[in-house]
Amino acid sequence: MKAVAFLLVAVASSLAFTPASSGHADEKATSNSGMTIPPGYRDWKLISVAHEAGGLNDIRAILGNDVAIKAYRGKELPFPDGTIIARLAWNYVPSEENNKVFGREQSFIAGPPTNVQFMVKDSRKYPATGGWGFAQFTDGKPINEAVSKTCFSCHEPARAADFVFTRYAP
């Protein structure tokens, strides 16, 4: 699998997070690798937004913890240990309410959530994957480990940006 569906996915990890209290991933869950959902990620600051058409057909927000935001704004590369980047995604749905106001079919909004993905920088724990651990949770449940192992290969083209595709949106 070329892992088209996963820009961020899970690799073996033993990070011990505690679950978030709300959002996409509000159940207590631990990935096969032991990674759990970072607490409070839904409150993190915005890095950028994107739309993936095709099979994914989602609209997404990329949030960062304070370490991530500081690194982005300071143009710090590679990202320091402690960086966590969260990708939230929702079904991409037309808004009839908005379209009525605009007078045309042009508005697309966030529908039900699909899944949430995390990249965690820990250069000692993840030396084989550029220093990054990856995880994905759907309804609070971690992704299948076999699928998750494809993640890093997808991120390799972004090596010059420390394997991170998303740029900070000012």
Q: Look up residue 141 and give its DSSP letter.
A: E
The Cβ-side half-sphere exposure at 4, using a 13 Å CA radius, reads 6
Two structure tokens written together for 113? 């959530």
Q: Which of residues 122-151 bind a copy of itself (CB under 8 A)?
A: none
Please say whether the beta carbons of 83 and 66 come within 8 A. no
* Stretch 16-55: interaction string toward a copy of itself, x if CB under 8 A: ------xxx-----------------xx-xx-xxxxxxx-
Considering only 14, 18, 98, 144, the residue that binds a copy of itself (CB under 8 A) is 98
Two structure tokens written together for 149? 């192992």
Measured between alpha carbons, how far is 97 from 49 in angstroms, rounded to an integer?
A: 22
The partner residues of 85 in beta bridges, in order of sequence, read: 64, 119
Which CB atom, from 60 or from 121, has the smaller least distance to a copy of itself? Answer: 60
Residues near a copy of itself, by CB under 8 A: 2, 4, 7, 22-24, 42-43, 45-46, 48-54, 56, 59-61, 63, 73, 88, 90, 92, 95, 97-98, 100-104, 106-110, 113, 154, 157-158, 165-167, 169-170
